Chain A
């Protein structure tokens, strides 16, 4: 059983640019959650996708958007990048069928640096 995979591993962008991060969910999982972890902080919930629709959102502006595809893989898009968007972006998959108490297992993350 494959785990959660994220790409790319590292990314450097310039302020004002747009970026797309990708996540392949673990086999059998239909829900994908994205988190942002700034240096020295705990991960912060961005949003969650279930059956290709947004199913919950944290305190992030609309320039953070996402997609989920029929195979449950997902993308995180960030427009108009700001310096404070520099962070480790984490993806986790889970299964709604197991309820909300299942632990989340994260992918290896994408390290985004905005200059």
Chain B
């Protein structure tokens, strides 16, 4: 049974702070890792993908992957109230385009 674990939160941070979201996964065969943002009542929106160990930066977002520890994280710098949403971690195995999702972490950024 492939599992993806996330703290459900809510994670509360003040505006301008760094938000750190974490995710662990059980399947060592996982090769691709994604972070989706989901606003209430909306569908998930892809914000980051990462495929190799290390950091990947895109604007205010940094994804970090450690395959040995089966751990992936998302850092959001200079958090804005508009970042308030649920962040879903998703993984898939090599050659498969199906994703296993965590339950998501709710992020609340207060002005």
Q: Which chain A residues have a beta carbon within 8 Å of chain B's beta carbons?
A: 31, 33, 35, 40-45, 48, 56, 58, 88, 90, 94, 96, 99-109, 111
Contact = CB atoms under 8 A, between A and B. Distances in A.
Contacts of B43: 88, 90, 106-109
Contacts of A102: 97
Contact of B97 (A104, A109, A111): A104
Given A40-B103, A42-B103, A44-B101, A104 B95 contact: no
Interface in B75-105: 88, 90, 92-104
B110 interface: no
Contact of B96 (A100, A109, A111): A100
Given A100-B95, A100-B96, A101-B51, A43 B88 contact: yes
A42 B49 contact: no
Contacts of B108: none
Interface residues of B, number: 27
Given A103-B34, A106-B44, A107-B43, A41 B103 contact: yes
A20 to B, nearest CB: 19
A108 B90 CA distance: 18
Contacts of A41: 103
Nearest to B102: A42
A8 to B, nearest CB: 14
15 contacts: A33-B97, A40-B103, A42-B90, A42-B104, A43-B44, A56-B96, A56-B98, A58-B98, A99-B97, A101-B31, A101-B92, A103-B34, A103-B49, A104-B34, A108-B42
B99 A31 contact: no
